Structure 1
């Protein structure tokens, strides 16, 4: 049985996005994004989202059976590998689409890529969503394609983004995968779990 991990996208309209999208941004990442080659999507989203996306990406890479089973949900380009190179213009296009409003620019490519992925899955393979299921913004599209094979970490319920990111990094350090449950019929909201203990300093430093 293979597990394919789908990582929810980082926001391209927040404060950190403004730091690299604004005219004259001089950070190394902003300069790379202005070049024709661009920068890897996973690196960009890690900058935009911080601990949460860093945890998702590290976890997926640690527990996927092969690299191509780690895919990132994007606002306009469906499912893409985290090593996909993106430019400033691509990110600006991402920022113009609000995935929460059910835009066809978001749903159409996601649906097409999800169907392509589903066609190549084995009977026992599962698709793990590393993202929120509290809203229907991508859950509806993915559930319609993957049905009961779409799962998520049960430990995500009740946690905020930072807590989820920290939890995932702890799992990578401990080499212990989380338990997954089907999205269909799952409890989407719950009580906040106890606060996680601090991350080992070496794990924190690795993401700085």
Structure 2
């Protein structure tokens, strides 16, 4: 008899929206495609923007999550933890104004501007998922900024990649990209 794999969704930690790459993309003088789209009605996806801001690490997380997510109909398989809006589908289109909003809030477990939207969305999502669904965090587990609120809501369903332990962001990003390409 064929074994049925459980559903699996991925929660991706965000890119830092206040760094040098963010300043580049926020500049009115920026003429590269992504910056122009952020300023236009077309916008750009949250995944694209964070991949630009973070580089290899977020790009790896996004590729891996897209390759290995398995969800029931109506449930997004790749969600990004945002500084102000909780869990957002990586395919959601965002603008420069959205990016500026993200840059205003540092992610810290005690900041209600970050924690309350994340707790709200995690609670809503947890109610929709089966007990067997795996919720995989692709982000740091060294502090409580992601783990505390997610563990509260997803409990035994929350997973962390063991291969992340002891690796830096660039190493993690490269590992995730290789795994996604090998699928």
- Under a length normalisation based on structure 1, what TM-score does the superposition of the two structures give? 0.81
- Alignment of structure 1 residues 167-182 onto 2, 5 Å: 167-175=175-183
Count of residue correspondences: 175
Deviations 1:9-49 (A, max 9, x none): 00001111111113432222111111134111000011011
Does residue 162 in structure 1 map to residue 170 in structure 2?
yes
For residues 39 and 141 of structure 1, the distance between their equivalents in structure 2, rounded to whole angstroms, comes to 28
Structure 1 gap segments, 5+ residues each: 176-208
Question: Whole-Å Cα distance in 2 between the matches of residues 101 and 150 of structure 1?
Answer: 18
1:37–1:86 CA contact under 8 A, matched in 2: no
In structure 1, the residue corresponding to 2:108 is in which secondary structure? helix
Structure 1: which 4+ aligned runs deviate by more than 4 Å?
A: none
Query: What is the aligned partner in structure 1 of residue 53 from structure 2?
Result: 48
CA-based RMSD of the aligned residues comes to 1.3
Between the two structures, name the one with larger relative contact order (CA 8 Å, sep ≥ 6). 2
SS in 2 for 1:55: helix
Contact 2:109 2:144 in 1 (8 A): no
- 2:57–2:170 Cα contact (<8 Å) kept: yes
Spell out, residue by residue over 1:151-175, the C-alpha distance to the aligned partner (whole angstroms, 9 max, x if none): 1100000001000000011111222
> What are structure 2's unaligned runs of at least 5 residues?
1-5
Residue in 2 that maps onto 1:130: 138
Q: Which residue of 1 aligns with 2:3?
A: none
Q: Does 1:106 align with 2:104?
A: no
Per the alignment, residue 5 of structure 1 pairs with: 10
Alignment partner for residue 67 of structure 2, among 62, 74, 82? 62
Contact 2:46 2:94 in 1 (8 A): yes
- Which residue does 2:148 correspond to in 1? 140
2:27 and 2:151 mapped to 1: Cα distance?
36
Write the deviation string for residues 115-162 of structure 1: whole angstroms up to 9, x where unpaired: 111001111111000111011111111111111211110000000100
Whether the aligned pair in 1 keeps the contact of 2:140 and 2:146 (CA below 8 Å) is no
- Contact map agreement 2:108 2:114 (CA 8 A) in 1: no
